């Protein structure tokens, strides 16, 4: 029997507080993705992309609702107070949305992307394709890794409802990730596209890697940790 297994070879459950932090973080991530993708529906004027993003935005809203239902009840704790950006997912998603700088990078005039030019004018944020590539080549793959890690670490004895939610959401995330990757591959048609895509991917990866996270999008408790 592995040292991480409990009675009869079953894994012990995560401490209640640790589970609450993770689930609250998942709820925040899914709600943030719902808002970001929803804002892109009208912001990205590419044929067929709006329908694609609208459907996925709605899925993320449903995922957030599922996680709200799975939040543990802790004495004296408002369940909504557990819904907060986990580290480093908050930095990654705010970078994706363009509303915050990558930690440790200088900011000029409050701008999140690059320094202003000589006239003090900030550059435009990344275009549609870099943002889509960042979502489907960094954010969703890392989110899938975190969910898979949690599913592997969960206890079949005590975490059955949580594991059902994880499996449902994982199936959606993997389907959306693959559909998004197909979309990005169709849209990358010029050398300039490749340069723009990989430049923004690097920004997002730095937001995660700069936090010393080994994999995934959230930090797990010591002993079962992903990063």
Are 82 and 21 in contact, with CB atoms under 8 Å apart?
yes
Distance CA 136, CA 36 (A): 13
In order along its 227 residues, the chain shows pLDDT tens digits of 333 444 434 667 778 888 899 999 999 999 999 999 999 998 887 778 999 999 999 999 999 999 999 998 776 677 788 899 988 898 899 889 876 544 444 333 333 444 444 454 444 567 889 999 999 999 999 999 999 999 998 888 889 999 999 999 999 999 999 999 999 999 999 998 999 899 899 989 988 887 777 789 998 876 664 45
Contact assessment for residue 191 and residue 165, using Cβ atoms and an 8 Å cutoff: no
- Which residue bears the tokens 């006239």? 119
List the chain domain ranges: 11-106+125-209
Q: Where does residue 92 rank: exposed (0-12), middle (13-18), buried (19+ CB within 10 A)?
A: buried
Q: Residue 222 and residue 145: Cα distance in Å, rounded?
A: 17
The Cα 163–Cα 30 span in angstroms is 17
H or E element: which one contains 160?
helix 160-187
Q: Please report the pLDDT score of residue 113 as a whole number.
A: 42
* pLDDT in the model for residue 99: 64
pLDDT of residue 162: 94
Q: Residue 139 carries which DSSP code?
A: I
Cα 8 from Cα 47, distance rounded (Å): 55
Please answer whether residues 21 and 84 qualify as being in contact, where contact means their C-beta atoms are separated by less than 8 angstroms: no
| Torsion angle of C-alpha atoms 181, 187, 190, 196, degrees rounded to 10 | -60
Distances (CA, A) of 190 to 53, 132, 163, 193: 23, 16, 42, 5
CATH for the stretch 11-106+125-209: 1.20.1260.10
Residue 88, preceding peptide bond in cis (omega within 30° of 0) = yes
SS3 label, residue 218:
strand
3-class DSSP state for residue 119? Answer: coil
Beta bridge partner(s), residue 32? none
- Please tell me the predicted confidence (pLDDT) of residue 119: 53
């Amino acid at each position: 029997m592995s040292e991480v297994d409990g009675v009869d070879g079953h894994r012990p459950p995560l401490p209640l507080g640790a589970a609450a932090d993770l689930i609250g973080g998942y709820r925040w991530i899914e709600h943030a993705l719902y808002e970001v993708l929803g804002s892109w529906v009208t912001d990205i004027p590419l044929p067929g992309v709006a329908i694609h993003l609208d459907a996925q935005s709605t899925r993320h809203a449903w995922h957030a609702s599922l996680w709200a239902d799975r939040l543990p009840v802790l004495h004296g704790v408002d369940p909504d107070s557990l819904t907060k950006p986990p580290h480093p997912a908050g930095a990654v998603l705010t970078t994706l949305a363009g509303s915050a700088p990558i930690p440790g990078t200088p900011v000029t005039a409050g701008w999140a992307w690059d320094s202003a030019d000589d006239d003090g004018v900030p550059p435009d944020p990344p275009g549609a394709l870099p943002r889509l590539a960042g979502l489907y080549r960094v954010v969703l793959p890392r989110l899938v890794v975190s969910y898979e890690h949690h599913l592997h670490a969960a206890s079949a004895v005590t975490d059955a409802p949580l594991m059902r939610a994880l499996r449902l959401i994982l199936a959606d995330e993997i389907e959306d990730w693959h559909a998004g990757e197909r979309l990005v591959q169709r849209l990358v048609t010029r050398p300039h596209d490749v340069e723009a895509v990989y430049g923004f991917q690097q920004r997002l990866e730095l937001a995660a890697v700069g936090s010393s996270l080994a994999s995934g999008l959230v930090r797990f408790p010591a002993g079962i940790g992903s990063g």
